[in-house]
Amino acid sequence: MTTGKLGFIGIGAMGSAIASRLVTGRELYVNDLNRQAADELVRQGATFAPTDEMAKQCRYVFLSLPGPANVVELLLGSEGIARHFEPGTLVVDTTTGTPTTDKEIVSALAELGVDFVDAPIAGGVKRAREGTATLMVGASEQAFTKARDLLLAVTSDVHHVGPSGAGHAMKLVNNLLNSCNRFAALEAVRLGQAYGIDQDTVVEVINKSSSRNYTTETTFPQLLSGDSYRPQGFTLQLMLKDLHLANEMAESLGHATPIGHLVEEFTQEAIDRFGPGADQSQLMAEWYRG
């Protein structure tokens, strides 16, 4: 087990799920703008601490923030905590970020003797808490070796996909396809219903056929079965952010993503209809209503 003080900044739904995998048997310090978000982790033995103190004391610091701009501001802004890091500190960023931002961060931290690993997670909050989610890791071999034990404590499904930035690139690829699949599955299932086939029957047959995907295998049967929907725990605003970052990365590479741009437009339309804080499940349940 990796020893030394461990910090975790950003303990919202996903951050707290990841941090819950690290609290047992470790000296874990946590921080979030919403102090109450830390209550459960504190009950499990974590300590709430200011970010600057955490940076001074912890040799390992995890981040789970809303987006890459938040990571840059936290680390390198006017009150950035990077200046407090000791040489040899390891930063593990589980935020859905971008390779471009990673390049800036890696360069700045390298001057301080600090390693950076981009390790976004996929699979949802439930799987993250269970330790069965997927980590996509971008890092130098040295940084990955240093981070390996902690990453494996989060989940056994760890993929070192390339150098710094590759983890975030892979997450954007995943989220782009997930969002496209979501709208395509919704359209197809509703088409079956329009013909008069029961929704559960449509989904059951699809899941035994070549078009099955996460939306048909998980979202529909677990969250959209019956007369009401259950929240998935992921807002339309976050969905739009991830789509935009993926399309933006594609543009920077000179790579066309016409379907991705169309789904980004659909997601913006959904936000206009349901609001930025609406859950993905509301989109799936109400897109074709009215």
Question: 157-162 and 134-138 as β-strands: parallel, antiparallel, unpaired?
Answer: parallel
Q: Where in the chain is the domain with CATH 1.10.1040.10?
A: 169-286
Superfamily of domain 169-286 in CATH is N-(1-d-carboxylethyl)-l-norvaline Dehydrogenase; domain 2 (1.10.1040.10)
The answer to whether 81 touches 108, Cβ cutoff 8 Å, is no
Please report, to the nearest 10 degrees, the dihedral formed by the alpha carbons of residues 66, 69, 71, 74 taken in order. Answer: -110
User: Which part of the chain is CATH 3.40.50.720?
Assistant: 6-162
Among 33-37, 71-75, 198-202, 223-227, the least confident range: 223-227
How many whole angstroms separate alpha carbon 64 and alpha carbon 179? 21
Class at the top of the CATH hierarchy for domain 6-162: alpha beta
Catalytic residues: 171
pLDDT at residue 1 is higher than 80? no
pLDDT, tens digit (0-9, with 9 covering 90-100), for 154-180: 999 999 999 999 999 999 999 999 999
pLDDT band at residue 290, thresholds of 50, 70 and 90? low
Q: What is the pTM of this model?
A: 0.92
Task: Write out the two tokens for 167.
Answer: 């983890």
Q: Report the C-alpha gap between 169 and 167 in whole angstroms.
A: 5
In this model, does residue 2 exceed pLDDT 70?
no
